[in-house]
Chains A and B, each alone.
Chain A
Amino acid sequence: MDYTTLTIKELHALYVEGKVTPLEVVKQAIEKAKKDKTNSLEAVTFEQALEMATLLSATAVEVDNPLWGIPYFIKDNISTKGVETVASSNILKGYIPHFDAEVVARLKTKKAISLGKTTLDELAMGGSGMSGHLGRTYNPFDPKKERMIGGSSAGSASVVASGFVPFALGSDTGDSVRKPASYAGLVGFKPTWGRISRYGLFPFAPSLDAVGYFTRSVADAAILLDVLAGRDDKDLTSSFEKVEDYTKYTTSVKGIKIALIKGISDNISNPTLKEHYEQTLVELAKRGAIIEYVEIEKSLLNALFSTYFVISCAESTSNNANLDGVKFGARKEGKTYIDVIKNTRTAGFSALIKRRFILGSYSLKQENQELLFRRAQKARRLIVEAVNKVLTTHDFIYSPAAPGVAPLFDKKSDNLNIAHLIEDNHLVIGNFAGLPSITIPVCLDNGLPIGVNLTGRAFSEKALFGFAAAIEDITGLKNLQVEDK
């Protein structure tokens, strides 16, 4: 039987019934992962996983712990003790952390079993899955290997969509979990800012960053949040907000007010997406949801990408200033200490990252800060005010998660292009305002998945899961994955 293609909930049920042991499941997961053709893996920990699975299999299953014995992968910008973590950058080659990220530690306590790390765009700064140090990660839904899976959490999306494991950790700064989720037919979840501890997450832009994850069902996403949510004193930005029982959501949408943003929701170019997107709304209305178009000032929508670009590049420049080869990482020698740092950074960063750093640094320079960085921060405030205003009168924002199916590799690039359609970048609203946001599949277009995105008020994860699960019921698209060819 195929165990790794089950959801967490289903697998847990089998464990409880004694139908399978963690060892059998982990063995299966490892076998599949070894045959990965999508270039999704970094450092793997198969030996440790087998050890842990063996130990667990000799003990009684924890009936009330749905993560017991569940295999998973971790995006390689999340710190894992004793396991090389390089965030897909050559500059971090050989770096082995002394500590686990908080999320990893919590999953360990819950006896989930990590099989290793996954690929990403270098330093999480990208949306194509192409800029990693191991080269591009492929979308498993395209056997021709011509399509991307998006980024930056490319590898984590792939391992779940490929059916190796039921879930994988990622991170989302502009849409880095929620966009690849759309391209890979997955549930991609980003919590409220501060809901999940960022301790151990390599920082890209702390005011936007969140740990997120991929699952194949909404119920699984709720199970994970039960464990990962909550204050961590090792992250002073983590929230004291009470942790709810997220799995106890209701899928009733009666009286729920759904907002569609003009300029985003009425601008769908892919006909299959448009059809299913709208059909879903019809069904929601039938079940008592109230659906309305709202307006957000056009100039704000037009500025979404530039605001994101400036803030994230500027913050990332500062956050990666610690990568100098002095204390850790792949040092290159030199005659003076400046040469050492310079040679290290020149060799260690890709050209793309360097270009981003230069632009970021430029916006932070004292003479430019007011007109660039601070203006972008002011624009952010206006955008956030507008979005929060919508959410005072409506419960959720409903939008397409991507313009269409996963793009071909040569169609998308990380070169800046002024013709960035709003439809490609609007998910960043969730990062600007720190709102919980989830992508779930809504249709398949010639076998390639496309998702919708739901965003709610801060700390409304439980209601968000309920709404997402309702849509899951409507579309019937649950536990999608690539078929074994």
Chain B
Amino acid sequence: MEYEAVIGLEIHVETKTKSKMFSDAPVDYNAAPNTLVSPIDLAHPGTLPLVNKKAVENAIKVCYALNMTIDETLYFDRKNYFYSDLPKGYQITQDKRPIGKDGYIDLNVDGKITRIRINRVHMEEDTAKQLHIIEHSLVDYNRAGIPLIEVVTEPDIRNGKEAAKYVEMIREIVTFTNVSDGKMEEGSLRCDVNVSIRPVGREAFGTKVEVKNLNSISNVEKVVDIEIARQKAVLEAGGVVIQETRRYDDGLKETISMRVKSSAVDYKYYPEANLVPIYIGRDFIDRVIATCPELPTTKRTRYEDEFKLSQFDIDVLLANKDVCEYFDQTVKFTKNYKIVSNLISGEIAAFLNKNQQSITELKVEPANLAKLAEMIAGGKISNKQAREILEHLFEKNQNPELVAKSLNMVQISDEGAILTLVNSVLDENPSVIEDYKNGKDRAFGFLVGILMKKSQGKINPSMASSILKQEIEKR
């Protein structure tokens, strides 16, 4: 029996704002416990929610990146349940009218493009953080109320690789648009997957199993594939997949059941009466979109179509928002995209790695890197020389042309000078000319060698080659 997997993902993103979703308490991930709390966050009686404009803007940017239809009016609902980390006994969320609906994202997995439909994007608030120690749990409300954006896909994903790629793309989107740090390890991007399998060709979905709180992108791929395999094994053994929530155990490398879903929890959703509908309007939305940093998908297209970079190069650049930013800055000064890309992913990456630095600490200014690229492209310096110059730039930001000069590296590219040198070499080696004329190709290389030696390696190789050819024909 051939099975196919049907997978949907729910991602929660903690967004970067100065204050919380519904209160003006500050947001800071490194503060001492309970030092960033307002009475609103503690659900003190009589407090009322105050919607954060920046949080709305962040949500709009994500909707835009995912091609969603964006609602011009904001509606909020209550999700009612009791838990130790939920101060109000309900969460303010968007149930009936999410800010974004009916969007999509195109995944490129090994060259194959798959479109994943996005069902909804909505705003809600984060819960408090709990620390479990021995006999007690301690609750820290710094996190309570931080703005969250939830992104829910249709069950269009089919395997672990697609799932991982999808999460990667969401991470790219939220980091590039400056909406979030998107760090799964830190909890600013959280992922739950819903996995079911069905026989190929059947329309009806199988039983859905939820796997919660995966903490890295590689785990997403791993866990999805493990869960698919587990469900397959259950069915093949004649069993039935139980609807439940599971979690991934990294030690055992398997998913473990957390709780069986006897029936769906009743959250008694109903509209939040402390928030009248808020009309934001098309103009507001357009302004947010206009001031949104370039989307990663747009960058990809630009790098591919305009800059003609390879998928690999593009992936490397987009893996880090700051690296990408640096690249964009550099190519403002030069059109040698491939060379710049190579410098960044090669020499510069190695240097940063060795010194445990991030590209934001790099001393080389984009304008100077661009100059270096130009020098390489123009044949003014060899790759080896470029590396040497770069070492100096790492120490101190300076004009690479000046460095080259000081290192006496300036390549001889003056036609007249090369002509003189060529003719002098030819004059000194008449027998080699004879050899060349008699069909001995190695003679040419020999002459080039002498040219290089005589000029201490400074002669422009390609020019030397062509002028030598030209002159030798004359003799």
Contact = CB atoms under 8 A, between A and B. Distances in A.
Direct touching of A and B (C-beta under 8 Å): yes
Nearest to B84: A337
A236 B50 contact: yes
A207 B275 CA distance: 10
A313 to B, nearest CB: 13
Contacts of B51: 236
A450 interface: no
Interface in A316-343: 318, 320-324, 326-328, 337, 341
A99 B39 contact: yes
Interface in B251-272: 266-270
A202 B44 CA distance: 9
B44 A98 contact: yes
Contacts of A315: 273
Interface in B42-63: 42-51
Nearest to B40: A234
B48 A198 contact: yes
A324 B268 contact: no
Interface stretch (A161-169, A246-254, A364-372, A417-425): A364-372
Task: Tell me the dominant secondary structure on chain B's binding face.
Answer: loop
B137 interface: yes
Given A315-B273, A324-B89, A327-B87, A199 B268 contact: no
B45 A202 contact: yes
A216 B318 CA distance: 72
A331 B438 CA distance: 105
Given A318-B268, A322-B89, A327 B274 contact: no
B394 interface: no
Given A318-B78, A318-B80, A236 B49 contact: yes
A237 B278 CA distance: 10
Contact of A201 (B39, B44, B46, B137): B46
A200 B90 CA distance: 19
Nearest to A311: B273
B268 A202 contact: no
Interface string B102-134: 000000000000000000000000000000000
B270 A97 contact: no
Contact of A92 (B45, B137, B274): B45
Contacts of A323: 45, 89
A395 B88 CA distance: 41
A134 to B, nearest CB: 18
Nearest to B22: A236
A327 B266 CA distance: 25
A327 B45 contact: no
A321 B266 contact: no
A364 B44 contact: no
Contacts of B45: 77, 79, 85, 87, 92, 95, 97, 202-203, 322-323
A206 interface: yes
Contacts of A322: 43-45, 87-89
B82 interface: yes
Interface in A16-73: none
A432 to B, nearest CB: 13
B80 A237 contact: no
A78 B46 contact: yes
Nearest 7 pairs of A and B residues by beta carbon: A321-B89, A322-B43, A206-B273, A364-B268, A200-B46, A202-B45, A207-B273
7 contacts: A97-B46, A199-B46, A237-B273, A314-B270, A322-B44, A341-B82, A366-B267
Interface of B: 39, 42-51, 78, 80, 82, 84, 87-90, 137, 139, 141, 266-270, 273-276, 278
Given A87-B45, A198-B46, A366-B268, 10 more contacts: A79-B45, A95-B45, A98-B39, A99-B39, A236-B49, A318-B78, A318-B90, A327-B87, A366-B267, A369-B268
